[in-house]
Amino acid sequence: MATLLVTGGCGFIGSNFIRDVLANEPDISIVNFDALTYAGNLANLADLESHSRYRFVKGDITDRAAVEKALEGVDGVINFAAESHVDRSILDSGPFLRTNVIGTQILLDVARSQKIKRFVQVSTDEVYGSLGATGLFTEETPLHPNSPYSASKAAADMLVQAYVHTFGMDAVITRCSNNYGPYQFPEKLIPLFITNLMRDQQVPIYGDGQQIRDWIHVRDHGAGILAAWRKGKAGEVYNFGGRCEKANLDLTHLMLDLLGKPRTLIKYVQDRPGHDRRYAIDCTKAERELGWSPQMTFDVGLRETIDWYKANEAWIKNVRSGDYLKYYQQQYGSR
Ligand code: NAD
Ligand code: TYD
C-alpha cells in the first residue's frame, strides 16, 4: 500500500484524480492537503469523505509546520496545489508567487528531509509560451512563460529540476494542456461559458477568438499523472495533451449548438493582456515511456461535461456566489 499526499485535491483536477484513484487503485491511500481557497471545494469529494483509504487535512503548502506534519508516513507527493487562473494572475500576481513558487519550495524541502520516495509536480504547457501557426511543444522546448501564472509555474518547475540536480531527489514533472470536465470552477472558458449559457447570459470572447488551445479531458490528465508516479523516470518531464486543437470561437459555437442557444449571446470583449495565441502538445514521449494515451474523444467529453453541469445546479449556485461575483465584476465589468 502506498500513501500519496495530494495537494490541492479539492480543486478541479485534484478532485477528479482522487475520485479515480480511490475507485480504481486499491493499493493507494490518499491524504488530501488543501487550503480551501476560492477554488477548493469540499463538496467536490463529499461522497468520499468516509472512504477507508481517504483522509482530508486542511492546510496551506506555504505553512512548513503543517506540511511537515501532513507528510508523516507518506510515500509520495502529487503537487496539484496552485493558483491556476491566468486572468487572476493579471489582476494580482502575489498569491501565484506565494503558492506556486514558495509553496512548491517548502514542499520540496520537507519532502527531501522526510525522504519521500517520489515527488510529482503537476505543471502546465503554458510554461513553454506561445506557438505560431505550426509546431508542437515537446519536452525539449525552452521555457518562455508569458503570464504571471505561467511564470510562477515555470519557476516551480525549475526549482524541482534544481532539487533533482543538486540533491538527487526523485521528482518528475508533468506538463499538460487545457483540461475540461466536471467540477471545473466556472472562471475558465468551458465551465464559464456553459454556466452562463445555461442562464441565457452572454459569453465573453477575448479579442478575435482565434486563439487555439489543445483540450484534454481531466480524467485523461489524471491517468497520465498516475502513470508518471508509477512509471516515470526521476528527473524527467512528460507532456500530456488531447490532440484536440480548437480555436476559442469554434469551441464557443459548438457549446452554443449543444445547448441550443443563439450566436447573439457571444460578446466580443477586449483581449487578455499578453494573450498566448496557440498551445499544442506533442505527447509521444508519454505514450512511448509511460504507456499512456488520451482516451476521451472531445465530442463525447464535451457533451458529458455539459450534462454534468446541467445535473449539478446546486453546485453551480454555490460556487457562483461570494468571491466569484466580486471577481466576475472586476474581470468583465471593465471589458
Ligand atoms: P484549481 O484552481 O481548480 O484548484 C487548485 C486547488 O489548490 C484548490 O483546491 C485550492 O484550494 C488549492 N490551493 C491553492 N492554494 C493552496 C495552498 N497554498 N495550499 C494548499 N492548497 C492550495 O486548479 P486545477 O485546474 O485543478 O489545477 C491543478 C493543477 O494543475 C495546478 O497546479 C495547475 O497549474 C495544473 N494545470 C491545470 C490545467 C488546467 O487546464 N486547469 C492544465 C495543466 C496544468
Ligand atoms: P482559460 O480557460 O482561462 O485557460 P488558459 O488561459 O489557461 O488557456 O482560457 C482558455 C482560452 O479562452 C484562452 O485563449 C482565453 C479564452 N477566454 C475567453 O475568450 N473568454 C473568457 O471569458 C475566458 C475565461 C477565456
pLDDT at position 256 is: 98
Grid coordinates representing 197?
449559457
The model's confidence at residue 334, banded by pLDDT at 50, 70 and 90, is low
Query: Does residue 252 lie within any of the structural domains?
Result: no
Query: Does residue 129 lie within any of the structural domains?
Result: yes
Contact at 8 Å (CB) between 181 and 16?
A: yes
Summarize pLDDT for 141-172 with one digit per residue, the tens. Answer: 999 999 999 999 999 999 999 999 999 999 99
Query: Does residue 318 lie within any of the structural domains?
Result: no
From the number of C-beta atoms within 10 Å of its C-beta (0-12, 13-18, 19+), residue 223 rates as: buried
Alpha-carbon distance 290 to 224, whole Å?
8
Q: Give the helix/strand (H/E) hosting 121.
A: strand 118-124
Could you tell which of 63, 84, 107 is best to mutate to test the pocket of ligand 1, judged by most ligand atoms within 8 Å of the CB?
84
Query: Does residue 20 lie within any of the structural domains?
Result: yes
Ligand 2 atom with the smallest distance to the CA of 188 is: 2
Q: In percent, how much of the chain has pLDDT > 90?
A: 96
The model's confidence at residue 322, banded by pLDDT at 50, 70 and 90, is confident
pLDDT at position 263 is: 98
Query: Does residue 207 lie within any of the structural domains?
Result: no
Domain hosting residue 100, numbered range: 2-184+216-243+274-296
Ligand found nearest the CA of 221: 1
Counting the structural domains of the chain, the total is 1
User: How far, in Å, from the CA of 139 to the mean position of ligand 2?
Assistant: 23
User: How far, in Å, from the CA of 115 to the mean position of ligand 1?
Assistant: 25
Grid coordinates representing 256?
452554443
Q: Is the pTM of this model over 0.95?
A: yes
Alpha-carbon distance 136 to 215, whole Å?
14
Query: Does residue 66 lie within any of the structural domains?
Result: yes
The CATH number that applies at residue 281 is 3.40.50.720
The model's confidence at residue 333, banded by pLDDT at 50, 70 and 90, is confident
Summarize pLDDT for 215-245 with one digit per residue, the tens. Answer: 999 999 999 999 999 999 999 999 999 999 9
Ligand found nearest the CA of 56: 1
Alpha-carbon distance 191 to 174, whole Å?
24
Grid coordinates representing 325?
461575483
Angle between helices 189-198 and 248-259 (to 10 degrees): 30
Between the CA of residue 261 and those of 119, 255, 257, 316, what are the distances in Å?
45, 8, 6, 19
Query: Does residue 259 lie within any of the structural domains?
Result: no
Residue 335 reports pLDDT greater than 70: no
Summarize pLDDT for 238-262 with one digit per residue, the tens. Answer: 999 999 999 999 999 999 999 999 9
Query: Does residue 150 lie within any of the structural domains?
Result: yes
